[in-house]
Amino acid sequence: MSDSTLSGLSQIPEAQPTNPFSAPFTLPTTPSKPRAHGHKRSASILKALSTYTETVTDLYKVTPIPNKGLGVQALSVIPAGTRITSEAPILKCLREPDGIDPFPVYEAFESLKPAAQDEYSLLSASQNQIENALDCIDDDDDLPEGLREWIAKIAAIFECNNFEIGAQSEVQDDGSVMTLAGVFPLAARMNHSCRPNVAQTWNAEINQLTIHAIRDIQPGEELCDAYCLLVEDTATRQTGLDAYGFVCACEVCGGNEEERKKSDEKRRLIKRLGEDLTFQAERKTADGAAKLGPLTSSVVKGGLEDPVNALEYLEVLLKEEGLVGHDLAQWYSFANWHSVSNSLDGSIDWQQKNYDLNVITKGRDHADTIAAKTKLARLKKRKSRK
């Protein structure tokens, strides 16, 4: 994930060896465990651009973006639903639930071929995460001079750029759950926006991370993902972005104050409606069905106590905010899972929306899309029998 503090190519250092510790080294047998950390101490970003060359394809190029360092820019019109790319992880590692354990990440890095190490080490790492990683390495660990800092940087790159790989996890002796995560070079180059235009999804059918356009993208536009929860107000989103070491200035956060306040109000309402729908969904009827009842009047007004009306309003708000990727998709899936509609036609309409958006955000070969298509066919078959 790219730097949002560099101003341009003038800051790119001279070419240097990527891995200064290429000689074999045995890590401590009992690595330090991650520890809780205090407040974020720095907002600066480190980016290793020592051997930078511009990457260009028919659809996009990886190139310097003003005030952001490297980013991904569209070179042609990219229609919604286009699979921009799919990529395998350059590095995989089990991720600690509450912090960084630098040593497993570094061991995974050391197992890579030199070319892959070079590619990995050119990715961004925030100073915050580097310092957090340093805090996890005991000063008395028997490490050669400079290796402690190098391990911390490699771990921080992982922390700033990893994506969960499916639902793979491992339960530890203490009951904590570690999830498998990977670093994907192109995905890691994409900067953040609070109104993203791409969706990144792990596809277990092809064992790759896919990146899809979730709306039509014009030439010259930057391709942006989201690093934080989007159904929060501006201040809360920025708190979530602190670990990445930049202040967001996207079209939502960097707009005029009046528009930002309107956006904050809509996103707070989206969150409240979502929380109430989720709460009601967890309340089962007497026969154990998961059918939704009316929503609480303390959250919704004007007839929105009906869950169908609430979902329709939620859909409108999400589209107005440009959150037309995974944020919208989860509520189409929710509507079908909990059978919110009392009519077969209504169920077909929701399932059609669910299937269509899965095609756009995940692709036709994703398991969720295949399942949605199967369910839609069943519903249409039921209707044809009537």
Cβ neighbour number for residue 102 with a 10 Å cutoff: 27
pLDDT in tens, 272-293: 999 988 887 776 544 555 555 5
Backbone angles phi, psi at 91, to 5 degrees: -150, 140
Last residue of a domain, one of 228, 244, 279: 228
Q: Which residue has the higher pLDDT, 95 or 141?
A: 95
Contact 333, 277 (CB under 8 A): no
Q: What confidence tier does 50 reach under pLDDT thresholds 50, 70, 90? A: very low
Residue 370 has pLDDT above 50, yes or no: yes
Quickly list H helices, the chain. 102-110, 114-121, 127-135, 147-161, 185-189, 234-241, 257-281, 307-320, 326-337, 344-361, 367-384
Domain count, the chain: 2
Are 224 and 287 found together in one domain? no
Residue 256 has pLDDT above 70, yes or no: yes
Are 277 and 372 found together in one domain? yes
In the numeric block, the tokens 């934080």 are attached to 228
3-state secondary structure 288-331: CCCCCCCCCCCCCCCCCCCHHHHHHHHHHHHHHCCCCCHHHHHH
Q: Which domain holds residue 194?
A: 9-228
Let me know if residue 233 belongs to a domain: no
Are 222 and 263 found together in one domain? no
What local confidence, expressed as pLDDT, does residue 374 receive? 98
Let me know if residue 139 belongs to a domain: yes
Lowest model confidence (mean pLDDT) among 94-98, 265-269, 364-368: 94-98
What local confidence, expressed as pLDDT, does residue 142 receive? 79
Q: How far apart are CA 205 and CA 345, in angstroms?
A: 31
Residue 340 has pLDDT above 50, yes or no: yes
Are 58 and 143 found together in one domain? yes
Lowest model confidence (mean pLDDT) among 89-98, 214-223, 238-247, 291-300: 291-300
Residue 151 has pLDDT above 80, yes or no: yes
Last residue of a domain, one of 212, 228, 244: 228
Let me know if residue 314 belongs to a domain: yes
Q: How far apart are CA 249 and CA 166, in angstroms?
A: 31
pLDDT mean over 122-141: 87
Are 202 and 293 found together in one domain? no
Q: What confidence tier does 38 reach under pLDDT thresholds 50, 70, 90? A: very low
The structure's pTM equals 0.81
Backbone angles phi, psi at 24, to 5 degrees: -60, 140
Contact 297, 273 (CB under 8 A): no
Are 68 and 209 found together in one domain? yes
Q: How far apart are CA 161 and CA 100, in angstroms?
A: 13
Residue 18 has pLDDT above 70, yes or no: no
Are 333 and 216 found together in one domain? no
pLDDT mean over 49-60: 69
Residue 3 has pLDDT above 50, yes or no: no
Q: How far apart are CA 295 and CA 281, in angstroms?
A: 10
Residue 28 has pLDDT above 80, yes or no: no
Our CA angle for 64, 67, 70, nearest 5°, is 25
Are 276 and 334 found together in one domain? yes
User: Facing residues of 180 across strands?
Assistant: 94
Q: What confidence tier does 295 reach under pLDDT thresholds 50, 70, 90? A: low
Q: Strand 162-171's sheet: what is its strand order?
A: 91-95, 177-183, 162-171
Average pLDDT of the residues of the chain: 82
Q: What confidence tier does 225 reach under pLDDT thresholds 50, 70, 90? A: very high
Q: What confidence tier does 21 reach under pLDDT thresholds 50, 70, 90? A: low
Q: Which residue has the higher pLDDT, 124 or 196?
A: 196
Let me know if residue 188 belongs to a domain: yes
Are 275 and 362 found together in one domain? yes
Q: Which residue has the higher pLDDT, 258 or 244?
A: 258
Q: How far apart are CA 343 and CA 219, in angstroms?
A: 43
Let me know if residue 234 belongs to a domain: no
| 178 three-class SS | strand
CA distances from 49 to 10, 12, 80, 119, 129 (A): 11, 6, 32, 10, 18
Are 266 and 221 found together in one domain? no
Q: Which residue has the higher pLDDT, 157 or 280?
A: 157
Residue 40 has pLDDT above 50, yes or no: no
Q: Which residue has the higher pLDDT, 303 or 182?
A: 182
Are 72 and 174 found together in one domain? yes
Are 215 and 75 found together in one domain? yes
| Strand 91-95 with 83-87, pairing | unpaired
CATH (domain of 177): 2.170.270.10
Let me know if residue 186 belongs to a domain: yes
Q: How far apart are CA 334 and CA 356, in angstroms?
A: 15
Residue 9 has pLDDT above 50, yes or no: no
Let me know if residue 250 belongs to a domain: no
Last residue of a domain, one of 228, 246, 269: 228
CA distances from 326 to 179, 197, 266, 318, 354 (A): 20, 11, 17, 11, 11
Separation of CA 361 from chain center:
13
Let me know if residue 4 belongs to a domain: no
Cβ neighbour number for residue 194 with a 10 Å cutoff: 25
